[in-house]
Amino acid sequence: MQKASDLRLLEVINIADGRRLGHIYDVDMDAVTGEIISLILPGSSGGFLKWSRKPEIMVNWNQIVRIGEEVILVHIPAAEFRNIR
């Protein structure tokens, strides 16, 4: 079992397209059960205007395929991913 803080060290990769999504910066948890509901990744910064950011990426727990030693593999379908990137 891993701690939620350990998950922040792992890179998240979408197996649907091989895209590297980045590292987790927050975890959404159920206050009653303590279960992880989703992983939250920062949005990418917008080109010339470095301070502008795209929306956060929320990865639902059921989209996680595998948590490895160095990466977390997720499956976010292309159609769904276009809505968040």
pLDDT of residue 22: 92
| Among candidate residues 15, 25, 34, the one with its CA nearest the CA of residue 72 | 15
Average pLDDT of the residues of the chain = 84
Q: For the domain that residue 8 is a member of, what is the CATH number?
A: 2.30.30.240
**Number of domains comprising the chain:** 1
Could you tell me the pLDDT band of residue 82, with boundaries at 50, 70 and 90?
A: low
pLDDT of residue 43: 76
Domain limits for position 77: 4-84
DSSP per residue, 2-70: --HHHHTTSEEEETTT--EEEE--EEEE-TTT--EEEEEEPPPB-SS-TT-BPPPEEEEGGGEEEE-SS
